[in-house]
Amino acid sequence: MLQALVSTASQLLEDLNRSLLRSRAFASRSQQVPPSAPHYQPLERIRLSDGVGHTLFEEYASHRAEARGEEETGWLLMGLREASEAHVLATLPAGAERDASVAHVQFNSSGQALGSRIVRQTDKRLTILGVVHTHPGSLRHPSDGDYRGDSQWVRHLRGREGIFAIGTADGKGQPPSLFAEQPRPHVQCLGEMCLSWYSLREGDAKYRPLPVGLTLGPDLARPLHSVWGAIEAHADRLDRLCRQQAGVTFEVVPGEHRPWLAVNIPLAEPGDALRVALTEKEVHYFLLRGGELLAADCLDERVDRGIYLLLAELAAQS
């Protein structure tokens, strides 16, 4: 099938090349071809879902109250990139395994990679939009060091442009504040916490203030934040499993004391599946067969290895 597609594609590519040589004819034909994706313009503004706004301010406040509260922290932003605006719909936390100090933060990318896979289960249009990170002082603008990295990184983003926000705790408002304010189009403040939003496009010499607005909507990744320890602990093995096995899905399920990360691996029979429930330190395996959930006698803490041992056991029984 792929060979047939490639053959057909080659023929169509030849057609396309021929058509490019005939500009007038091309102009009339191109109107019939639906655009495959928007032609990206520089971002004019961004919209945050109110869920994302809540996450950023609430988790920034929580971070400041923690033992590592003096360190910088941050979030990776996911959402939809449109022609000249972007919608921020999910936040991936820096993670407990981040490398951070009062002067830098490097996110735990393994956890965020798995988190992005889980968030994108329901909508493959979701992409990486940018980064929020905090500064300990009152510098509400990305630093020169930020620019050196970001100016290279944005080439990997849609539209070759990224969204960057700086969190500071230097606002004039005093906590507790009843509601957030927006003293400037690119600045949001809640109490003493402020987020200042910028964009940077490939080739730009400096960041550009980016007007930000709010709209109703979820933080699609927020349920994952409650199981982020499990995501970080098993990220590499689960990410490898996703690349090896089609149809692997994830969900957050309530537990007696705390939520679990559940992994579902479909089996050949419709409805049958292997199911794994994970916390940071615990791994429990189950077999869903014929509508009945059976606990599997597997103690392997390496989740990918445990799953393949069970698959081998099931294959031997069939």
Partner 1 sequence: MDFRPLNDTERRQLIGALRGNAESDRAILMDRRDTSFAGTAEEVTDEEVIFAVKSVPCHY
Question: In the complex, which residues of this chain contact partner 1 (CB under 8 A)?
Answer: 1-2, 4-5, 8-9, 12-13, 15-16, 32-38, 72, 74, 76, 80, 92, 99, 103-107, 109, 112-113, 116-117, 120, 124-128, 131, 133, 142-143, 145-146, 148-150, 152-153, 156-158, 239, 246
202 or 300: CB nearest partner 1: 202
Q: Which of 56, 44, 39 is nearest to 94 (CA)?
A: 56
235 or 287: CB nearest partner 1: 235
111 or 306: CB nearest partner 1: 111
Cβ atoms of 112 and 92 within 8 Å: the answer is yes
Which residue is listed with tokens 């407990």? 96
- Contacts of residue 7, defined as CB under 8 A and 6 or more positions apart, other chains included, come to none
37 or 312: CB nearest partner 1: 37
For the CB of residue 185, give the shortest distance to partner 1 in the complex, in Å: 23
For the CB of residue 5, give the shortest distance to partner 1 in the complex, in Å: 6
For the CB of residue 188, give the shortest distance to partner 1 in the complex, in Å: 19
**Burial, 192: exposed, middle or buried (Cβ in 10 Å; 0-12, 13-18, 19+)?**
middle
Could you give the 3-state DSSP secondary structure of residue 134? strand
**Alpha carbon of residue 303 to chain centroid:** 22
CA angle (120, 123, 124) in 5-degree steps: 70
205: enclosing H helix or E strand = none
For the CB of residue 172, give the shortest distance to partner 1 in the complex, in Å: 25
Q: Which of 254, 256, 261 is nearest to 275 (CA)?
A: 261
For the CB of residue 46, give the shortest distance to partner 1 in the complex, in Å: 17
51 or 142: CB nearest partner 1: 142
